[in-house]
Structure 1
């Protein structure tokens, strides 16, 4: 879990920053943001924590390319071209 903290000894200034920051984070469709949770501490000021998570798996859009399939390459793990697997030769019968 990712947490963002807004901490300042000046409570009014912290609330002003939070008033700008929170709508920006909530408007981002790639993120899910929790409501601010106040943290307790001694003295004046502001201490707030926000939990931030990715909204989900990004959508990938692929446009179709018409053409011969021979130009396309299949890939294996890590994006490397896939190799044909050969079976080991059988031992000679005896």
Structure 2
């Protein structure tokens, strides 16, 4: 697990940093961030922890459009392919 921590003795400064950081994290599609957890700080400062992880790969859905284009698909076993003849490599120099 990856954690981001915002820790400072100046609570106001920490809140200002969080006000900029959280929208950036939420806008990033490559990362998923948990809700910030505020921890106690003895001196009255600020201590916030966020769990961050990579977002999963985007899901891509592909729909067949055969019916819309009027093309037909072949049903049954796949056609057998004949191996192609390869050209010979040129002689070595």
**Smaller-chain TM-score range?**
0.5 to 0.7
TM-score by length of 1: 0.59
* TM-score (norm: length of structure 2): 0.60
Superposed counterparts of 1:15-34, under 5 Å: 15-34=15-34
Partner of 1:87: none
Unaligned runs of 5+ in 1: 60-69, 71-94
Q: Which runs of 4+ in 1 moved over 2 A?
A: none
Distance in 2 (alpha carbons) for counterparts of 1:43 and 1:57? 42
Structure 1 vs Structure 2 CA RMSD? 2.0
Where structure 2 has 5 or more consecutive residues not aligned to the other structure, the ranges are 60-85, 87-93
Q: How many residues align?
A: 61
Report whether the alignment pairs 1:36 with 2:23: no
Matched with 2:5 is 5
1:21-65 Cα offsets, whole Å, 9 max, x none, are 000011000110111101122121100001101111367xxxxxx
Q: Which is greater in Rg?
A: 2
**Hey, what does 2:46 align to over in structure 1?**
46
Looking at structure 1, the residues matched to 41 and 11 of structure 2 have their Cα atoms a distance apart, in angstroms, of 12
